[in-house]
Amino acid sequence: MRLAGKVAIVTGGGSGFGEGIVRKFVEEGASVVLMDRDEAAASRVAGEAGDKVRPIAGDVSTLESFVAAAELARSAFGGLDILVNNAGVAQPPLPLETMDEGLFDHIANVNMRSIYNGARAVVPHFKSNKAGAILNVASTGGVSPRPNLTWYNASKGWAIAATRAMAVELAPFGIRVNAINPVAGDTPLLSTFIGSGEENRARVVATIPIGRLSTPQDMGNAAAFLCSDEASMITGVDLNVDGGKCI
């Protein structure tokens, strides 16, 4: 198993891509602290995944939530090896100048500040261990933006730039930092981007050469590889998990 003996924190693990990552990590032998603002969703996934998952309610826009998750990882499982910054929010399509400050701040807090807070909470521990892996879930929107999703796209472009900058600084300490860029997926966030209805769904699928939306399982597979020792020579990468969308 790729992640046998590893301990991970996965944010936003109560649904969508995060749930897929949690389930794959457990399948690969990891123990997981599942942090989600939706306590019921976190408890559901943890209950289904078994005793290798501990749920914790948390808000990724606060440092305190990450500190609490790291403390739970150490007390429940004896350490911490991996941080997956998966929690994210979307925006409805709208002209860039019309987004109100409240929504902009929410996007920045969840998609950007979370990476900053996570690093502050776990990097000292990883440095002392001379090892660690951080995975940021960005988006194809950060690589190939679509109109009217500007501030969401920008937040994911920031996540990709942060991944590269963190990788350069932390490599001498044995810490790897990578990102994955999902294409539109079968998750609760999809309707925020495209609205409801099969016509909208078909229009998005038509832009993906492989001919389908991404799934939580796709993200779990990519995340498990990048966070495993098999990827020990890989850092600073943002991997498109996109069915060819960004070609």
Cβ-based neighbours of 1, under 8 Å, separated by 6 or more: 27, 28, 29
| Closest C-alpha to 94, from 174, 33, 153 | 153
* pTM (predicted TM-score): 0.96
pLDDT band (50, 70, 90) for residue 171: very high
pLDDT band (50, 70, 90) for residue 193: low
- Residue 198's pLDDT is 83
103 CB-side CA count, 13 A:
14
Integer Cα distance of 9 and 72 in angstroms:
9
Query: 102-127 b/e with 16+ CB inside 10 Å = b?
Result: eebeebbbbbbbbbebbbebbbebbe
Residue ranges of domains in the chain: 7-238
Would residue 152 show up in a list of annotated catalytic residues for this protein? yes
Residue pLDDT, tens place only, 40-53: 999 999 999 999 99
* 226 in Cβ contact with 133 (< 8 Å): yes
Q: Reduced to 3 states, what is the DSSP secondary structure of residue 54?
A: strand
Q: What percent of the chain has pLDDT over 70?
A: 97
User: Which among 152, 170, 180, 185 is annotated as catalytic?
Assistant: 152
Average pLDDT score, the chain = 96
Q: Regarding the domain delimited by 7-238, which CATH topology (the fold level of the hierarchy) does it fall under?
A: Rossmann fold (3.40.50)
pLDDT band (50, 70, 90) for residue 177: very high
